[in-house]
A and B are shown apart, each in its own frame.
Chain A
Amino acid sequence: MNNKSVDIGVGVFLCIFSVAVYLYAGQYSGRGVNSYGPDFFPKALSVMMFISATILIIRGLAGISLTTLESTDRQGFIRAGGTLALGVIYIGLMKLIGFYIATALFLYVLMAFLGQKGQLTRILVSGIVASLIFGIFHLFLKIPLPEGFIYNSLKSF
């Protein structure tokens, strides 16, 4: 997609979005402490957003979009998407098996996914970083990290 169609597409989406915000904010009217109640600010912003988005569309249609789109590397884009998916899996895994093991596993897999070839490096880095972060957050800063469903079940058992 070129920048013109992206600007038009984004502009149309933002127009719809701002109308939706305006209408949704309407339900807050009359419940404020004065006539400028809780609906005023979101409504005012949505009107400004609508105007800005319309200008974006007009500029796109007139072919005067000033910016050029950043090029997308297809392989890289898939890699970024894969990383996001791994991140989501890691969060789920953390709830299940706890922070420490999930983190070491996640780092090992993510480095492999990103193309880090050294097996020993991956093992060492994932172990050391997981230990460091666990040490700093859990032991030093006393921030409770997830212990995991399995550990908690065993503990209560």
Chain B
Amino acid sequence: MDSLINLLDAFQIIFSNPYSLMYILIGVAAGIIVGCLPGLTATMGVALLVPFTFSLPPVQGLLLLLGIFTGGIYGGSISGILIRTPGTPAAAATLLDGYPLSQRGEAGKAIGIATIASFIGGSIGALIMSFLAPEIAQFGLRFGPPEFFALAIFGLTMIISISGVSLLKGAIAALFGLLLTTIGLDPLSGVARFSFGSDDLLGGITFIPALIGLFGFAQVFHNIEKMQIVPQVKSKVGKILPSLKEIRSLLPTMFKSGGMGAMTGSVPGLGADVAAFIAYAEAKRTAKKPEEFGKGALEGVAAPEAANNGATGGAMIPMLTLGIPGDAVTAVLLGALTIHGFQPGPLLFVNHLDIVYPIFAGMILCQLVLLIVGLAGARLFARLINIDTRILTAVIFLLCIVGSYSIRFSFFDVGLGLTIGVLAYFMGKAQFPVSPILLALILGPMAEQNMRRSLMLSRDDPTIFFTRPISAIFLFLAVFMAITSYIRFKQLRKIEQRVADDAAVENESNNG
């Protein structure tokens, strides 16, 4: 009941300030634009726009970022449907049926269904988050250093899910990221580590320039090297709104997939892309005509879109309540919250209810704005895909530089961002994933400090991690997650290989 009252209060706070609604609107629109442009991910969008929120009041800054997150995940479907190139990985499942619909001249209907499904899925995710997160946070208040250490280890197991093609390379990237977190003053002893006499490094690796380096500069260099001219949108968008009958028949799929997406997203490591594929597979399994999937089935668009937007709310749950990001975008949001002076975790729900509930209310409002902006602006967003990549890339490169500079007004940070960007670019060449570095940058300090605090408590006895029940459970879950994620990792690789093989065969037959 308290949650409901707090949520209603938060709505009142947001509605009482028109600027808050304006920032949601700007965020959602910017997110859709970033999402629908191939080569720009939602993670990159949030990372690039975090600096724009520095001098805003915290609630409004966070509403802007939530809007980008929500819009970014949805926006990827537009290019997926129109040009068979998902704007974000989360939209990869949508194009399987979205693009055939587009080829049949029903692109508008596919976008319309994607928008409505995103709204329903996203709303379910946001509502689950609003009512489940406070309960989890309440439980989290029992945690001490050993539990937080075990939790960090549990969170690090999600590296398996974000390691791309090689688990070993993912682990190496994470270890490198963890080593980066040891740069600067050790918070427990005050010793300067690996700073090599530089004052700029005493505070450690600054998060935002590192983030922009990993997801901004590196992507820009990659895009410039390939300089792929994005295929022009040729198919007409046509009528956007599907018929009421069609919407009604899709509602069960949307609700079910939205719920599944929220649950999947709440497991660290299983982001919106995995949620979309799981929901797609489930919709196909339970469909009356599964043979239509892949040929333009409306459920094939509704299910992944409801799931990937449902996952946005789900992914926020572990981030807000325990400080463990659900996926790469929430990892960036976690960093943004920290920059605004709020440390995600159980105490956030004790000390900063004034921030927590506006986040919940904001996520719900983002879905409503997404529905309106998505349906009203579909044709405009579709046209944006044709934007000249040479102009776009130059502007993004500039934003990366300005963004890196603006956190501390420091050219050192720009150099840091560029250096990390170059490193991430070459890592990409050698198939080393960069997302584990981001995760390590967040969880590294949490793991180290809590491990050492625990050992101080136990007088150097490491059994403290196994004798405290919650800590032991988390460590057990970490091992369990590692094993099951590894099995799933192998299965996913096989599925991806099969999809790639099928696509190659299809391309050959099309060309032939």
Contacts and interface: CB of A to CB of B under 8 A. Distances in A.
B180 to A, nearest CB: 10
Given A32-B188, A49-B176, A137-B406, A110 B397 contact: yes
Contacts of A49: 172, 175-176, 179
Contacts of A69: 429-431
A84 interface: yes
A83 B409 contact: no
Nearest to B493: A66
B178 A114 contact: no
Given A70-B429, A141-B55, A42 B406 contact: no
Contacts of A111: 390-391, 394
B194 interface: yes
B380 interface: no
A133 B51 CA distance: 12
A3 B178 CA distance: 25
A76 B188 contact: no
A61 interface: no
A10 interface: yes
A63 interface: no
> Which among A37, A38, A49, A56 has the highest number of chain B CB atoms within 10 Å?
A38
B333 to A, nearest CB: 19
Interface string A56-98: 1001000000111110110011011001100110110001000
Contact of A114 (B188, B227, B406, B456): B227
> Which among B398, B448, B460 has the highest number of chain A CB atoms within 10 Å?
B398
A68 B431 contact: yes
Contacts of A42: 179, 182, 193-194
Interface string A8-35: 0010001000000100110010011111
A37 B452 CA distance: 8
Nearest to A134: B402
A90 B224 contact: no
Given A49-B172, A80-B221, A33 B456 contact: yes
Interface of A is mostly: helix
A144 to B, nearest CB: 6
Contact of A76 (B225, B391, B394, B401): B225
A150 interface: no
A83 B221 contact: yes
Contacts of A6: 430
A59 B460 contact: no
A31 B220 CA distance: 43
> Which among A3, A79, A137, A145 has the highest number of chain B CB atoms within 10 Å?
A137
Interface string A109-131: 01100111000010001000100
Interface in A37-56: 37-38, 40-42, 45-46, 48-49, 52-53, 55-56
B398 A114 contact: no
Contacts, number: 169
Interface stretch (B163-171, B201-209, B367-375, B470-478): B163-171
B226 A76 contact: yes
A55 B168 contact: yes
B395 A66 contact: no
A14 B395 contact: no
A36 B55 contact: no
B393 interface: yes
A126 B191 CA distance: 46
Contact of B221 (A45, A68, A84): A84
B52 interface: yes
B354 interface: no
A31 B459 CA distance: 16
B166 A67 contact: yes
Contact of B179 (A7, A33, A45, A56): A45
A77 B409 CA distance: 30
20 contacts: A6-B430, A10-B430, A25-B193, A32-B191, A33-B452, A34-B455, A38-B188, A53-B172, A66-B165, A76-B226, A79-B225, A83-B397, A91-B415, A95-B411, A107-B394, A116-B388, A129-B398, A141-B55, A143-B51, A143-B55
Given A28-B186, A52-B168, A141-B55, 14 more contacts: A3-B431, A7-B430, A41-B178, A42-B194, A68-B431, A69-B429, A72-B429, A73-B226, A77-B225, A90-B401, A116-B391, A142-B55, A143-B51, A143-B406
